[in-house]
Amino acid sequence: MAEALDLKAIGTRPVRPDGIDKVTGRAAFGADLHLPNMLHGMVLRSPHAHARIKSVDLTRARAAEGVLAAVSGADFPGGAGAGDLAKNVIARDKVLYHGHAVAAVAAKTLLQAEAALDLIEVDYEVLDPVMSLDEAMADGATLVNESQHTNGDTSKPASNVAATQRFERGDLAAGFAEADVVVETEHRVPMAHQGYIEPHACTATANEDGKATVWCCTQGHFDVRSLTAQVLGEKVGNIKVIPSEIGGGFGGKTTIYLEPLAVKMSQMTGRPVKMTMSREDVFRATGPTSGTWCKAKIGAKKDGTFTAASAWLAYEAGAFPGAPIGPGCMSVLAPYEVPNLVIEGNDVLVNKPKVCAYRAPGAPQSMHAMESAIDELARQLDMDPIDLRLKNSAAEGTVAPYGPRFPAIGLRECLEAAKVHPNYTAPVPEGAGRGVAVGFWFNIGMQSSAEVRIAEDGAVTVMEGSPDIGGSRASMALMAAETLGVPYEQVKAHVGDTESTGFCNVTGGSRTTFATGMAVVQACEDIIAQCKQRAALTWDLDEEQVDWVDGEAVPKPGVNADVKPLSLADIARGAGRTGGPLLGRASLNAQGAGASFSCNFTDTIVDTETGKVDVLSFTAVQDAGRAIHPSYVEGQMQGGAVQGIGWALNEEYIYDDNGVMENAGFLDYRVPVASDMPMIDTEIIEVANPFHPYGVRGVGETPIVAPLAAVSNAVRDQLGFRIPDLPLSPPRVLEAIDEQGGH
Amino acid sequence: MGAYAYRAPTNVEEALSTLAAEAAAGNRAQMLAGGTDVMVQMRSIDKGPRTFVDVKHVAEANELHIGDDEVFIGAGIASAVLNENDELKRILPGLIESADLIGSTQIQGRATIGGNLCNSSPAGDTIPALIACGAVCVIASPGGNREVPTEDFVTGVGTNVLESTEFLIGLRIPRPKGRSSDAYLRFIPRTEMDIAVCGAGVALTLDDAGICMAAKVSIGAVAITALVVPDAAAALVGTAVDDEALAAAADASSALAKPITDKRGTVEYRRKVVGVLTKRAGAIARDRALAL
């Protein structure tokens, strides 16, 4: 359907509306707000990875110079029975990871606040930390939470395994028996952080009437409102949240950490309280993604047809349940037709920070395992890795392992495009290796609202509530311009606060351009309907006799009326005479988010004397459904690839024996720098999503999924043996080379 | 965190009396060059009160001479100035590349070799390069200037021979003669913006036949201070710096290294790779000398 559209704005690459302010430094981020009489809040964090809190004494801190408020868990509702979110914001009975917030102070200056932290007396009973999946899942393991039973089943002993998940289809044993070749692999991937540039920051001010306003950097201010209200025991209506510009989130800014502390201390003092995290705080106490232990097994006939596959996944949840095992299980075999399968997931507590979403949460780890196994299978079958995947590719009508039947999807198109890409038909550079992998993300819809307002000169304001983390304001403006038939420059998209626009769920799940975009399109259609009605009134015609063509109301073909077309500006100018201002609106719970598949391949070369892996080229092919602003689609593909490559090569949480993260900074938590990367070549495939008016699929998350296995498979190709675990850091690679040489 | 003071003396005499006065008053004084280490430390690990004494206004510490027999690099000279000096890049390419490895272009506008040396990190990149090319530290002292070879300057992790009333004026480096050159390599997991897992500097002189007449090898980040590796130099002298000699030099570096295991690398890894770097830096220095 979308292919038939004659598009004017969509698919162009105009300047983003927030671009100039970001380049000049005028854009205001989370820490940029300053208010009169503002206090500075700081958090006291646990020096232990696992300990019982026997007491917290704030007396001396409260008496310190400049200090106006000090709080601990006892100042918040719920006590030891508070929910996980509240206990993560500030500990109650136990601290569950090094860096867990225990208390907070607000003082007139930052130095006074910092000095007061030293005066807080906390009596801890230190417990053994549980730092690995093996330890956590072993019989007789120390329990992170003594009252945690697997899947809530209290008939069984308490366990660090909070939840399990299982998908099953066909007869696994029979399927493997049918196979000519069976491959089994086992992999560990470390805990990794999103590494957004902007640390979390917020400012809160509570008024005497009981209302509070919070300014913060977030991917979803409506969620900040509800979660903050929940932790404080406040009514949602008492809290207003104003989102700042956001310096990266990647899923990590979909929850709250500082906001309830700032609101509480503002309520106590009657003064605004500002709180910001250091980079160290961000690493230690926000939500990275799970370290994992995955086993993959896959069997195929000689011609490559998959007969059976199984996956066993264990994911670190951190201190509270909620590892992304659901998406990990959903993704692991989603790209393929597999007649017999079993997929099992385990959500496991450890004494590390509570994980949060990170770009396609859970998929990169499980698919790294399966895409590595499939690579080995291709080698044993002596098949091209793209051909093997094409042979078994999911397509329209395939039933996904998690249940639904896929509508139109673009995996085959991605594989076919990769196969003929000049980077793939070119020979592998001398001494290097090439790796291929497939990526997938299901994407989500959820709730969005949008309003479209027309000024008296026809200027269009799009008001919506999805924080712009990847150029979405430009995409909203493009879809509005396309729908209304006006130039992009005539449209301004704005992200409103919780009281100036309708409810929107978080910017996450690659939903914004799809779902909020759909709301914007519907709000524009509402405007068009109103314009047709106003024109009919003006021309004394029936509404049905008026059409909207290229941004103008015109009589329908065959309607006999001697009138001039009316532009949006014409109608807006005369709106007072035809019923008042033009205001379009839509709200929805978007259905039909289309899955986005990708195929990535890369050439890498290992320095066999140092173990260093250099990425020579990287090519990302991905189905975007419809690229509204192709530059931002390419940007998502490139950014996701770089994050995936970083995770594959160097990124990892490194802990000492006491459960203290040793590399809580960008010096030793090694995200790639620009000079580490080749240009990430991109090719956008467009297989329209039938459920979006312009065919959009979410594109933000799929790009991080395939790079882990693509890089692993490339290193395998050069070395002749597989290093199953990540990261492929120089010491690990050199050790593997030395061991192999010794055999 | 506490009170900070800042002084900007304009010559050695004034700087020495500033240091003496601070010491007499019981204040902690700290010399400041580019500040690229000091500023980071005072915001994180070491926030204590002190008086900063800025070397960037001390005239004698801001001289750069390239003489017939000697090069003098003042302690206040920014790396960017060195990195853009074609003559220095030609005669001391290894030393200059070690300075160019530290920090981004913007940081190099402030950073100094003298500061890198005085910071005395085991992983300081310029230190093995300075040692290899025979640099001597010129130290302003209340009793008059004194000189210390670079390999004797650093005494431990973050410590050196400077007394609280002394400071580094600059570095005297013998100008390489004939077919002499140097090279420095470090290993980092990334391409830049990182800290050495290990490093190796090699300086050597070849005769007309290409036989090595003199060599000096120094390795970094594999002990609490940069080490001189006499056995590696001995393995090169008298040879054409061929693969066999380089392999022997590599083994000598690996054997002398006393690294630790930490988040940046293991003992085994550092020991092995410091040898690889010695070999590779030796080959680069040889090729550079042969091209003269």
User: Quick check: B2 pLDDT over 80?
Assistant: no
A657 to chain B, closest Cα gap in Å:
13
Tell me which chain B residues have a C-beta less than 8 angstroms from the C-beta of A662.
Answer: 262-263
B positions 162-201 inside 8 Å of A (CB): 187, 189-195, 197
pLDDT digits (tens, 9 = 90+) for B191-203: 998 999 999 999 9
Q: Say if residue A493 is in the same domain as residue A382.
A: no
A positions 620-649 inside 8 Å of B (CB): 649
Specify the pLDDT at position A561: 86
CB A328 within 8 A of CB A317: no
pLDDT digits (tens, 9 = 90+) for A317-335: 999 999 999 999 999 999 9
Tell me which chain A residues have a C-beta less than 8 angstroms from the C-beta of B264.
Answer: 668
pLDDT digits (tens, 9 = 90+) for A659-679: 999 999 999 999 999 999 999
User: Which CATH entry fits the domain spanning B179-290: 3.20.20.140, 3.40.50.620, 3.30.390.50, 1.10.340.30?
Assistant: 3.30.390.50
User: Which CATH entry fits the domain spanning B4-57: 1.10.3470, 2.40.10, 3.30.43, 3.40.50?
Assistant: 3.30.43
Contacts by residues A543-552 (CB-CB < 8 Å, ≥ 24 positions apart) = A548/A485, A549/A485, A550/A485, A551/A484, A551/A485, A551/A486, A552/A485
> Is B190 in Cβ contact with A672 (below 8 Å)?
yes
Name the residue among A654, A194, A667, A651 with its Cα closest to residue B193.
A667
Q: Say if residue A376 is in the same domain as residue A456.
A: no
Q: What is the DSSP letter of A556?
A: P
DSSP-assigned states of every residue in A578-628: HTS--EEEEEEEE--PPPEEEEEEEEEEEETTTTEEEEEEEEEEEE-SS-S
- Tell whether A155 is covered by a domain: no
Q: Are strands B198-206 and A491-495 parallel, antiparallel or unpaired?
A: unpaired
Specify the pLDDT at position A528: 98
Q: Say if residue A497 is in the same domain as residue A428.
A: no
CB A712 within 8 A of CB A722: yes
Percent of chain A with pLDDT over 70: 99
Cα-Cα-Cα-Cα dihedral of B69, B75, B80, B86, to 10°?
0
CB B113 within 8 A of CB B170: no
- Tell whether A285 is covered by a domain: no
Cα-Cα-Cα-Cα dihedral of B114, B118, B121, B126, to 10°?
20
User: Quick check: B107 pLDDT over 90?
Assistant: yes
Mean pLDDT of A210-229: 98
CB A30 within 8 A of CB A219: no
Mean pLDDT of A456-468: 98
| Cα B79-B81-B83 angle, rounded to 5 deg | 65
Domains of chain B, by residue range, sit at 4-57, 59-174, 179-290
Percent of chain A with pLDDT over 90: 98
Q: How far apart are CA A554 and CA A563, in angstroms?
A: 8
Mean pLDDT of A356-360: 98
- Tell whether A522 is covered by a domain: yes
Helix (H) or strand (E) holding B182: strand B179-187
Specify the pLDDT at position A394: 98
> Is A673 in Cβ contact with B192 (below 8 Å)?
yes
Residue A4 pLDDT class (50, 70, 90 cuts): low
- The closest CB to that of B263, out of A111, A663, A730, belongs to A663
Residue type for position A231 = V
Among A4-8, B45-49, B53-57, B85-89, whose mean pLDDT is lowest? A4-8
Specify the pLDDT at position A1: 40
Residue type for position A468 = D
Tell me which chain A residues have a C-beta less than 8 angstroms from the C-beta of B195.
Answer: 667
A positions 606-625 inside 8 Å of B (CB): 609-612
Specify the pLDDT at position B3: 81
Residue A82 belongs to domain with CATH number = 3.90.1170.50
> Is B269 in Cβ contact with A668 (below 8 Å)?
no
Nearby residues of A657 by Cβ (< 8 Å), 6 or more positions away:
none
* Helix, strand, coil abundance in chain A, percent, nearest 5: 30, 25, 40
Q: Say if residue A235 is in the same domain as residue A93.
A: yes
B189 to chain A, closest Cα gap in Å:
7
B269 to chain A, closest Cα gap in Å:
6
Residue B261 pLDDT class (50, 70, 90 cuts): very high
Burial A18-45 (b: 16+ CB within 10 A, else e): beeeeeeeebebbbebeeeebbbbbbbb
Residue to substitute from B273, B274, B279, interface A, most A β-carbons within 10 A: B273
- The closest CB to that of A734, out of B263, B264, B269, belongs to B269
- Tell whether A62 is covered by a domain: yes
Q: Say if residue A54 is in the same domain as residue A79.
A: yes
- Tell whether A191 is covered by a domain: no
Tell me which chain B residues have a C-beta less than 8 angstroms from the C-beta of A667.
Answer: 194-195
Q: In the beta sheet, which residues pair with residue A614?
A: A605
> Is B1 in Cβ contact with A730 (below 8 Å)?
no
> H-type helices in A392-516, by residue range?
411-419, 422-425, 472-484
Whether B46 contacts chain A with CB within 8 A:
no
Residue A551 belongs to domain with CATH number = 3.30.365.10
Look at chain A and report how many structural domains it folds into.
3
- The closest CB to that of B273, out of A610, A673, A729, belongs to A610
Domain that holds residue A489: 2-25+445-590
Specify the pLDDT at position A560: 87
Name the residue among A356, A355, A352, A354 with its Cα closest to residue A48.
A352
Give the distance, in angstroms, between the CA of residue A373 and the centroid of all CA atoms in the same chain: 26
For B262, which residue in chain A has the nearest alpha carbon? A662
pLDDT digits (tens, 9 = 90+) for A485-542: 999 999 999 999 999 999 999 999 999 999 999 999 999 999 999 999 999 999 999 9
pLDDT digits (tens, 9 = 90+) for A432-448: 999 999 999 999 999 99
B148 to chain A, closest Cα gap in Å:
32
- Tell whether A609 is covered by a domain: yes
Q: In the beta sheet, which residues pair with residue A549?
A: A552
Tell me which chain B residues have a C-beta less than 8 angstroms from the C-beta of A646.
Answer: none
Specify the pLDDT at position B245: 98
> Is B191 in Cβ contact with A670 (below 8 Å)?
no
User: Quick check: B69 pLDDT over 70?
Assistant: yes
The rounded mean pLDDT for chain A is 97
Q: Say if residue A420 is in the same domain as residue A503.
A: no
Whether B246 contacts chain A with CB within 8 A:
no
Tell me which chain A residues have a C-beta less than 8 angstroms from the C-beta of B191.
Answer: 673, 675-676
Q: Which of A566, A590, A614 is the last residue of a domain?
A: A590
Q: Which of A246, A276, A306 is the last residue of a domain?
A: A276
Q: Which of A216, A247, A276 is the last residue of a domain?
A: A276
DSSP-assigned states of every residue in B198-211: EEEEEEEEE-TTS-
Whether B144 contacts chain A with CB within 8 A:
no
Mean pLDDT of A575-590: 97
Q: What is the ipTM of this complex?
A: 0.95
Name the residue among A133, A93, A92, A74 with its Cα closest to residue A315.
A133
> Is A673 in Cβ contact with B191 (below 8 Å)?
yes
CB A366 within 8 A of CB A330: no
Name the residue among A108, A122, A126, A111 with its Cα closest to residue A72.
A122
Burial B156-180 (b: 16+ CB within 10 A, else e): eeeebebeebbbbbbbbbeebeebb
Nearby residues of B220 by Cβ (< 8 Å), 6 or more positions away:
B122, B123, B124, B125, B127, B128, B186, B196, B198, B199, B200, B201, B226, B227
CB pairs below 8 Å between A and B: how many? 51
pLDDT digits (tens, 9 = 90+) for A684-702: 999 999 999 999 999 999 9
Tell me which chain B residues have a C-beta less than 8 angstroms from the C-beta of A728.
Answer: none
For A111, which residue in chain B has the nearest alpha carbon? B1
User: Quick check: A2 pLDDT over 70?
Assistant: no
Residue A741 pLDDT class (50, 70, 90 cuts): confident
Q: Say if residue A387 is in the same domain as residue A518.
A: no
Tell me which chain B residues have a C-beta less than 8 angstroms from the C-beta of A729.
Answer: 189
> Is A729 in Cβ contact with B189 (below 8 Å)?
yes
Q: How many residues does chain B have?
A: 292
pLDDT digits (tens, 9 = 90+) for A642-657: 999 999 999 999 999 9
> Is B187 in Cβ contact with A731 (below 8 Å)?
no
Residue to substitute from A668, A677, A728, interface B, most B β-carbons within 10 A: A668
Q: Say if residue A251 is in the same domain as residue A322.
A: no
Q: Are strands A341-349 and A552-555 parallel, antiparallel or unpaired?
A: unpaired
pLDDT digits (tens, 9 = 90+) for A90-148: 999 999 999 999 999 999 999 999 999 999 999 999 999 999 999 999 999 999 999 99
- The closest CB to that of A731, out of B190, B191, B265, belongs to B265
- Cα radius of gyration (chain B): 19
- The CATH fold assigned to B59-174 is 3.30.465
- Tell whether A123 is covered by a domain: yes
pTM of the model: 0.96
How many helices, marked H, and strands, marked E, lie in chain B?
A: 11, 14
Q: Say if residue A439 is in the same domain as residue A449.
A: no
Q: Say if residue A51 is in the same domain as residue A17.
A: no
Q: Say if residue A621 is in the same domain as residue A496.
A: no
Residue to substitute from A118, A610, A647, interface B, most B β-carbons within 10 A: A610
Q: Say if residue A298 is in the same domain as residue A430.
A: yes
- Tell whether A176 is covered by a domain: no
> Is A650 in Cβ contact with B273 (below 8 Å)?
no
